[in-house]
Amino acid sequence: MSLALDFLKDSLNFNQSYKESLDRKASFLLGISSVILVLSFNNIARPGFLLIALGALLASLFSVWVISFPFRKTHRGKFSIICAWGFAHLTAEEYSRRLNEVWQNENALQAAYQKEIFALSEYSIKIKLRFIKLASLSLTLGLVVGFILIMTANS
C-alpha cells in the first residue's frame, strides 16, 4: 500500500473518531441540560429559573439532534465502500463487482477514500459541531442570564 493510501486511511479513522467524540460531547450536554431542566422546574414561575429552563431545553433539543443526526440521508444514492447505507440497495454480486473495480486501481481506491472523508466531514462533522456549539451557547447563556436575574431579584 502506498503512503497516500496510508495517510487517507488514517485521516478517515481520525474523522470517524472525531465524529464519535462529538456524539459523546452531545450526550454529556444532554445529561447536564436534562438535570438542570428538571432542577429548574421547582421555581419555573420566577423569570431567572424560566430562562435557565429555556436554555437547558434548547441545549437538550440541539444535543438530541446531534446524537440522532441522519448522516446516511445526506449520503443517499452514492456508492460507498465503507458505509453500509452506500451499498444496502445492492445485491451481493453487484457490491462485489463495484468493490473489485475500486480495489483494482489504486487511484480509484484513493478517490473512494477522499470521497468518504469529504462526505464525513462535510455532511456530518461540520453540522454536528455547529449544533454542539449552539447547545453549549444556549445552556451557558440560559445559566448566566438566569443567575443574574435571580441574584438581582433577591437583592
pLDDT of amino acid 84: 55
Nearest to 11 by CA among 102, 106, 114: 114
Alpha-carbon distance 51 to 54, whole Å?
5
Q: Is the pLDDT of residue 75 over 70?
A: no
- Encoded amino acid at 16, one letter: Q
- Per-residue pLDDT tens digits for 112-152: 788 888 888 887 888 899 999 999 999 999 999 999 999 99
pLDDT of amino acid 58: 96
Domain map (residue ranges) of the chain: 3-154
Chain center to CA of 153: 38
- Per-residue pLDDT tens digits for 25-66: 999 999 999 999 999 988 888 999 999 999 999 999 999 998
Alpha-carbon distance 25 to 35, whole Å?
16
pLDDT of amino acid 70: 66
